[in-house]
Structure 1
Amino acid sequence: MNTVIRLEPTPDNDATPPEGTRRIIEQQERVYYDGYWVKTYPVPADSLLAKKQLIEALTRRLFNHTEHGLNIPGTRLAEARATYEAETDPGRRRVKGAMLAGAMFNRATDIFRKLVDLQADGIEIQSDNALMRECGQCLLDAMELGRFVLHRSGEEGIDELWGEPFRAFSIPVEDFYESRYIKIGQSMRDIDRIAGAMCANFTQIPMFEGIEAPIADFAAAAKLKTETLRTDPSIFDVWSQLVTAGERLANFTPKAPLDLAKTSPERISHRASDGLLLLRSGRDLVFYITRARTPMPKSTREYIERCEAYLATGKVPFTPAPLPA
């Protein structure tokens, strides 16, 4: 299915189903969160092997979406801890804290890998095993240091993404999958909020006449990608649809000011270059949310405020990215 299913109230269906409701819709099981029917996937058996594979995938995904330089091998954990604890400069201490968190994640993954190897050799691994406790503590410590870590965009951290490996370790695999569907619904909601802000503000500026269609196409493609796993056979169509929709939005050509002078001279004060920069920033933000499949509330809120400021003033305000506390 190449469409996102969203509940639309009608006279015959004005009741919102409970969060987590599952239904078969057009031969595909979907679960309802935040107003969206999210595509579901089979859950692997809850075992050490399944958790190892899940934690490894989540750790790779984590490093893929966070700032560069954090993928420190677990074998350097003691070294990373020592340099972090000795650092006094606030800026460098933040970065070293993020690097220490990366080393902790990798140490936890190394331990889990060894535990799975031992289990494969017939050695029973209990939940109170010393290595299991050390693995869990590494993940917990890394999650607590996640406040130091920025998204690769530099705009904000993604605390939910940073905490996922620990949740995958500490709860059943089925419950972890369910938590991901919740985040996907929230991500779809924020994509619609961003697209709604684009449409609400840019459609009031004559030079951006016709912008609504490429915004809507891009948002629809982004929501579809958000619910689609990379292992899904449809990913080739889904990803190419998203990329080309993003290109069409970024390449939108505003009307020339001379075309507008006769009808709306007061509107010429809007800088076309600022508007295009804002559209491309919105496209990038939606890509960040879509790829991480996690909402970015701070960036979403600030982007909506920039759209409103551009409509009101004709300029995009400069807002330097603050460092995390």
Structure 2
Amino acid sequence: MSNVHRLEPVSNHDTFPPEGTRRIINDTERVLYDGYWIKTYPVPGDSLQAKKQLIEALTRRLFNHTEHGLNIPGCRLGEARQSYQAESDPGRRRVKAAMLAGALFNRATDIFRKLVELQADGIEIHSDDALMRECGQCLLDAMDLGHVVLHRSGEEGIDELWGEPFRAFSVPIEEFYENRYIKIGQSMRDIDRIAEVMIATFSRIPAFAAIEVPVRDFACAARIKTETLRTDRDIFDVWSQLVTAGERLANFTPKPVPKPLGERTGRLLYRVSDGLQLIRNGRDLVFYIARARTPMPKSTREYTERCEAYLATGRAPFMPAPLPA
């Protein structure tokens, strides 16, 4: 199974290859972004058929990672727009805007599918065709609404996912693939940041002193998953490794420690149940990033702040529960 190769500085004077450099490492081509040598995949030919398949895959991926109820058929676009425009309650208006975005995406996919069918029948399709323009406008309108949509965790939106189908429509496929490698590198970077925060927080607390190994194992498995497509022959090993590493981390058993003598010792008392919940929250956040292959900066920042608060006070600040599955 492949592994993720990371550049590590030996001295302050090290110079690294420029971003986007490609090399063959262990018989596999990899591209360098954010200090990681990321596994590359063959780029399909830049055709309407290839773009159709890519946009369909990106749309399925979008609905897989966002809050439920957004997969509105494209044929109901008019109803979705009318319901959104008539809504005055701010909360319901946000949800209806998200549903409208879903309908717009599905309408764009429907149009692209028909264009490919026409092309297969020998009808030449030009970039300035009316249906092509309508398809692009649907994707653009959906992207504009994407900021109101939450990730399935309920913590934040992933605007990047809403822009991907439009980019796949509007730029050459090779350029689209290259941009994805950039985002994968950023995702790996954030996975490692979360892991380092967890280790820095919990390894200083006696009950959690053995946390480093399961955290690093999980982060390594998450980085490998981030670079691996579902169509890769290694996906069976990659996914099972990630899940089992996540289970080991979530089932971490704190080491029993002698009860302190209270205020006379001046030692801070840490609520172990809060620490365990914080570890599981970190595990979940890394899962979200690895599966979406997209950074979640707001959630990463807030998780870091919660770890810092726990280390300083012995208590973890309240975190809202994720949206129901």
Do the two structures share a fold, i.e. TM-score over 0.5? yes
**C-alpha offsets along residues 101-130 of structure 1, whole Å, 9 cap, x if unaligned?**
000000000000000000000000000000
Amino acid at match of 1:310: Y
> Is 1:118 matched up with 2:126?
no
Q: Distance in 1 between matches of 2:320 and 2:11?
A: 47
Q: Distance in 2 between matches of 1:13 and 1:60?
A: 45
| Alpha carbons 1:206, 1:260 under 8 Å: kept | no
Q: Distance in 1 between matches of 2:61 and 2:50?
A: 16
| Alpha carbons 2:74, 2:105 under 8 Å: kept | yes
Q: CA deviation at 1:260?
A: 5.2
**C-alpha offsets along residues 56-79 of structure 1, whole Å, 9 cap, x if unaligned?**
000000000000000000000000
Structure 1 unmatched ranges of 5 or more? none
1:1-325 correspondence to structure 2 within 5 Å: 1-10=1-10, 14-257=14-257, 259=258, 261=260, 266-267=266-267, 269-320=269-320
SS at match of 2:42: coil
Q: Distance in 2 between matches of 1:24 and 1:154?
A: 40
> What is the Cα-based RMSD across aligned positions, in Å?
1.7
Q: CA deviation at 1:27?
A: 1.0
The alpha-carbon distance between structure 1 residues 262 and 244, as it changes in their structure 2 partners (threshold 3 A), is farther
Worse overlay, 248-257 or 171-180: 248-257
Structure 2 unmatched ranges of 5 or more? none
Q: CA deviation at 1:256?
A: 2.5
Amino acid at match of 1:317: P
Query: Aligned residues: percent identity?
Result: 77
Query: What is the aligned length?
Result: 320
Amino acid at match of 2:300: T
Q: Distance in 2 between matches of 1:276 and 1:143?
A: 37
Q: Distance in 2 between matches of 1:144 and 1:30?
A: 33
**C-alpha offsets along residues 215-267 of structure 1, whole Å, 9 cap, x if unaligned?**
0000000001000011111111111110000000000011224x354899655
Q: CA deviation at 1:318?
A: 1.8
